[in-house]
Amino acid sequence: MPNPLRPLLLAAAKSAQFKKIVVALPMTRKVVNRFVSGETMDDCVKALKDLSVRGIYSTVDYLGENTKSVSDAEAAKTACLALVARLKDEGLTQWTEVSIKLTSLGLDLPDGSDIAYDNARQICDAVAEAGTTLTVDMEDHTSTDKTLAVVDRLRETYPWVGTVLQAALHRTVSDAERYAGPGSRIRLCKGAYLEPPEVAFQGRAEVDAAYRRALKVLMNGEGRPMVASHDPRMIQAATETALRAGRSADSFEFQMLYGIRADEQQRLADAGYKMTVYVPYGTDWWGYFIRRLAERPANLLFFLRALFGN
């Protein structure tokens, strides 16, 4: 069922005052630890190794978004480069790729597209040298065109760069058709941002139908669909659509978030599908955490129970 508090929670994600209050609560960290692998790279590496032992792949995200200065964007790039080096040193590149947000690399700054591209290009260089891949995350609809433009530039040199499409947006089926070609890697999710009705479907049934339409386009294309959903109905739709499209189990993959439906993640991996878990880490976890609460009533209930000791 839809979370009736979702609009309020997503608005709270942008409130510095609300953040200050909630972060100070002792039980908040207990709940954050369910969705975030930790604040340090050591914490993250431990989580990645634990997943790999279970036959589960990872895409790791150094948390951060909407940087306000060139120096902050440079710091985010440096942190990503350190992460890639650590993955290589730990022998994890067979199991782990990297996810980045372009607004953390300067996309919203003046001349942000060039700044974000240059920072992302340097990360791609390191990723290629390490022997893994990279996916560019998608953010709210105001950055979609800018994000895809940078992705297009990156793919001229690094054709394995993936990106994300959000089924809730009206434009996504058209974008899926554009990115369904050979070599393309598309993570299809429903969308975690609060978007206006002018650009996005609002009801669950509408979003589900849009997800199925985009999924059909990607499965019938020549790229690699990355089915990012915890919804059992969408998981079933993916396997059925893949079968009708004549796809083998290794020609697409499932993706889920760290800390959500671990049993289902294991079931899919054991069934022979590539199962990739999105593993975030870092100190800038606030926006990511609130969006996880807003997505599912069960997540919010878990948080409230922790706060009140039940």
Q: Exactly one of 137, 140, 175, 208 is catalytic; which is it?
A: 137
d(CA 191, CA 168): 6
d(CA 219, CA 203): 24
Please name which of 232, 218, 284 lies closest in space to residue 260, comparing C-alpha atoms. 232
Alpha-carbon separation of residue 274 from 41, 268, 290 (angstroms):
24, 8, 28
| Cβ neighbours for 95, distance < 8 A, ≥ 6 positions apart | 48, 51, 52, 57, 58
Whether 137 is a known active-site residue: answer: yes
Q: Exactly one of 187, 224, 292, 296 is catalytic; which is it?
A: 187
Region for residue 246 given its phi and psi (left: phi exceeds 0; alpha: psi -120 to 50; beta: otherwise): left
d(CA 112, CA 147): 11
d(CA 148, CA 95): 26
Q: Please give the positions annotated as active site.
A: 137, 187
